[in-house]
A = this chain, B = another copy of it.
Amino acid sequence: MRILIIGAAGMVGRRLAERLIADGKLGDDRIDTIHAFDVIEPALASANGVRIEAQAGNIADAQTVNGLIASKPDIVFHLAAIVSGEAEVEFEKGYDVNMDGTRHLLEAIRHVGTGYRPRLVFTSSIAVFGAPFPERIDDEFLRAPLTSYGTQKAVGELLLADYTRKGFVDGIGIRLPTIVVRPGKPNKAASGFFSGIIREPLAGQEAILPVSEDVRHWVASPDAAVGFLLHAGTMDLAQFGDRRSLTMPGLSVTVAEMIDALRRVAGDEVVARIKRAHDPQIAAIVDGWPRDFSARRAEEAGFRADKDFDSIIRAHIADEEARKRAG
């Protein structure tokens, strides 16, 4: 089978590609080729009989997207996006990539015609929801985004559902929780501290906690995210009927609970590297974010959240050790 990954150089996309290469198959089907696409050419090595075709480009360009679909991939994982903060500042860029890019993809698939109906896994976001919301958001809660990014993802979900209903594609939209622990350097994202307060102390560095410890958030590990994508890529989607976008299961944890888990896994000395420095701006942004979800539909369909936050921390430690060994 041939798999196209759009956004294969990103944190989750790269991890998905590496997992598929390591497995050599998806479900029961052997993978012949992974077409790895991103704005920068993804660096992936062929292995286990999986051929890699790496390509750099921009999905805002319809011809580029037509080219991606010309080789008729059996499955498309669409993870590419201008992220929330950038889409808010760069209005046109956000719409060009997040909305038009997704539409170009759907249109390219539709125009192949003659029975071509690939599986399309679209990574959406809990940003499709906007305040005011209940303490716990269920599968029936309305999409009323408060960012351009959330708007573009919500439009993507609507188009995905309509193109699926019309039989052009077999689509599923999965709304990922905030991914914790993100590997790598600290970034400027308002959500960055959720990873930072775990990652930096474990690496022997100080981390700043800009909000109070009772802040509650909805998280999943990078491994859980890859698990969602693989399950979405292979499962029978007919059970979802016409509502094809689902909130993925996650853990609803407070910062205090995250810190307690870090203490259990790594000890007091590590936890002592977390410094409190209240940042009213970040606190205000985080205050507008959803805290908890009931992801019943996804759970009933076999999507699995992380077991607990301790496991997330342990998996991160194992990843970092593997990374060091690989040099």
Chain A residues proximal to chain B, CB less than 8 Å: 91, 130, 140-146, 148, 151, 154-155, 158-159, 161-162, 165-166, 242-243
Specify the chain B residue showing the minimal Cβ separation from A144: B243
* Chain B residues near A243 (CB-CB < 8 A): 144
A162 to B94, CA, bound (A): 12
Number of copies: 2
A276 to B313, CA, bound (A): 68
**Contact A144-B161, Cβ < 8 Å, known A130-B242, A155-B155, A242-B130:** yes
* Chain B residues near A144 (CB-CB < 8 A): 161, 242-243
Contact present for A151 and B142 (CB under 8 Å): no
Q: Can you report 7 residue pairs joining A to B where beta carbons are below 8 Å apart? A: A143-B143, A143-B158, A144-B242, A146-B165, A151-B161, A151-B162, A158-B158
9 interchain residue pairs of minimum CB distance: A151-B162, A142-B142, A151-B158, A155-B155, A154-B158, A144-B243, A148-B162, A155-B158, A146-B242
Contact present for A166 and B142 (CB under 8 Å): no
Specify the chain B residue showing the minimal Cβ separation from A139: B142
Contact present for A145 and B162 (CB under 8 Å): yes
Specify the chain B residue showing the minimal Cβ separation from A134: B140
Specify the chain B residue showing the minimal Cβ separation from A243: B144
